[in-house]
């Protein structure tokens, strides 16, 4: 055995002391260490392949991995490259859109709570972290994603050898965007119902050439009616992010939404409480719509309160101008909050995925 091999083993052993805090296993066991080399100069180089580019503990893991490798005698320097591969090991892939790893629905019990605002900032934040992201505006009654994403071109129609005519979605802020808004004329209200609606939704889901995506975010129509159920059953959803405001009325609607998701067996990844508070010029916090609703709700339904977003003119302006606040003003507190939210969502998806993988392995062990 050459001394190089031994060193590689020593570095690997050292890396076994670094745990992924969410997946509760070490980086080597998780198969995250790749291309490990120890050069004659005493430099160790390797890649850490995370389960999502939007990993909230990316920087921490990078420094811990580097520090662990440095403890090995003879290692003079360490170069760590952070990378990610988003995979879907859930059963949802079976009937999935090919090439799309995770479909995440943004839903709400009622309209006007900021569902579209959360969708655009979530999608854009994931893209800013390096993920491949699509955003499907399935809110057929109020398709305003194109405006909020500042999309000016229409999708291109092209002929796919197997699927026939398909739409190529335009890209904005690094996100592929598809919306019913592209297919309707100006201010005409959408009045499709029943089978026609189902048909349109189906086309919408299957006739878009998304290519390879890590995450497809869907802005669902508000409420808990047929359209939501159709969509939830038609699409292999990994989970949903529920948006609410703190008022009781909206919470009652969210309770209904929880029940609906439970019925169709789609996991709720967590709750976003939007318009939680307003910070005055005096720095004082005003809880305009009441307090603690999201917190209560997440406890009652044993899910996480992922974020509490302030009521803020800059958030609305970001939507109106087609430049979400996370691109408009990267240093704004609210932009940080949205970036954090996106990482929390990615974390929940990664945990869900890992737990499913673990149960598959356990089942496999019996055969």
Ligand X SMILES: Nc1ncnc2c1ncn2[C@@H]1O[C@H](COP(=O)(O)OP(=O)(O)O)[C@@H](O)[C@H]1O
- Candidates 7, 115, 339, 343: give the one binding ligand X (CB under 6 A): 115
Nearest distance in Å: CB 270, ligand X: 17
User: Looking at beta carbons only, is 43 or 144 nearer to Mg ion?
Assistant: 144
The gap between the terminal CA atoms of the chain, to the nearest Å, is 36
Nearest distance in Å: CB 331, ligand X: 17
Nearest distance in Å: CB 129, Mg ion: 24
Which residues, including other chains, have CB under 8 Å from residue 104's CB and lie 6 or more apart?
A: 122, 215, 216, 217, 218, 237, 238, 239, 240, 241, 269, 345, 349
The site that binds ligand X (CB under 6 A) totals a number of residues, namely 17
107 binds, among Mg ion, ligand X, none (CB under 5 to 8 A by kind): none
Nearest distance in Å: CB 226, ligand X: 19
Distance from C-alpha of 334 to C-alpha of 310, rounded to nearest angstrom: 7
Nearest distance in Å: CB 247, ligand X: 14
* Using rule CB under 6 A, residue 114 touches ligand X: yes
**Residue closest to 112 by CA, chosen among 349, 324, 319, 346:** 319
- Binding marks (x or -) toward ligand X, 312..341, rule CB under 6 A? x--xx--x----------------------
Piece of the chain touching ligand X by CB under 6 A; list 112-120, 208-216, 224-232, 283-291: 112-120
Tell me the longest C-alpha to C-alpha distance in the chain: 74
Neighbours of 350 (CB within 10 A): 23
309 binds, among Mg ion, ligand X, none (CB under 5 to 8 A by kind): ligand X
Interhelix angle for 333-365 vs 115-128, to 10°?
80
State the Cα torsion 168-173-175-178 to the nearest 10°: -50
343 binds, among Mg ion, ligand X, none (CB under 5 to 8 A by kind): none
275 binds, among ligand X, Mg ion, none (CB under 5 to 8 A by kind): ligand X
Counting every residue written for the chain, the total comes to 367
Please report, as residue ranges, which positions from 97 to 116 form the binding site for Mg ion (by CB under 5 A).
Answer: 116
Residue 283 burial (CB < 10 Å; 0-12/13-18/19+)? exposed
Neighbours of 187 (CB within 10 A): 5
Piece of the chain touching ligand X by CB under 6 A; list 5-13, 51-59, 224-232, 307-315: 307-315
Footprint on this chain of ligand X (rule: CB under 6 A): 108, 111-117, 222, 274-275, 309, 311-312, 315-316, 319
Footprint on this chain of Mg ion (rule: CB under 5 A): 116, 139
């Amino acid at each position: 055995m050459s001394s190089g091999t031994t060193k590689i083993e020593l570095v690997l052993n050292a890396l076994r002391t670094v745990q992924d805090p969410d997946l509760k296993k070490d980086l080597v066991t998780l198969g995250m260490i790749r291309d490990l080399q120890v050069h004659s100069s005493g430099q160790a180089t390797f890649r850490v392949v995370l389960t999502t580019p939007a990993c909230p503990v990316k920087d921490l893991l990078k420094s811990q991995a580097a520090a662990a490798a440095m403890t090995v005698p003879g290692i003079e320097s360490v170069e760590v490259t952070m990378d990610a591969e988003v995979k879907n090991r859930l059963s949802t892939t079976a009937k999935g859109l090919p090439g799309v790893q995770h479909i995440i629905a943004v839903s709400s019990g009622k309209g006007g709570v900021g569902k579209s605002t959360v969708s655009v900032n979530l999608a854009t934040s994931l893209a800013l972290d390096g993920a491949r992201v699509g955003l499907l505006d399935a809110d057929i009654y109020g398709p305003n994603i194109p405006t909020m994403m500042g999309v000016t071109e229409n999708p291109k129609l092209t002929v796919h050898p197997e699927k026939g005519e398909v739409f190529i979605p335009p890209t904005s802020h690094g996100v592929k965007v598809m919306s019913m808004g592209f297919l309707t004329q100006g201010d005409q209200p959408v009045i499709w119902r029943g089978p026609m609606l189902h048909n349109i939704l189906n086309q919408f889901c299957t006739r878009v050439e998304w290519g390879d995506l890590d995450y497809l975010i869907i802005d669902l129509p508000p409420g808990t009616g047929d359209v939501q159920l159709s969509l939830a059953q038609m699409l292999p959803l990994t989970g949903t992010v529920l948006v609410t405001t703190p008022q009781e009325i909206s919470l009652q609607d969210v309770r209904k939404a929880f029940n609906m998701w439970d019925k169709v067996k789609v996991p709720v990844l967590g709750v976003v409480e939007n318009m939680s508070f307003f910070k005055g010029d005096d720095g004082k916090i005003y809880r305009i719509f009441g307090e603690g609703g999201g917190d209560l709700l997440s406890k009652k339904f044993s899910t996480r309160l992922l974020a509490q977003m302030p009521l803020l003119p800059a958030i609305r302006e970001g939507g109106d101008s087609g430049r979400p606040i996370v691109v408009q003003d990267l240093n704004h507190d609210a932009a940080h909050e949205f970036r954090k939210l996106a990482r929390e969502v990615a974390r929940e998806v990664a945990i869900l995925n890992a737990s499913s993988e673990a149960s598959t392995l356990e089942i496999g062990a019996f055969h």
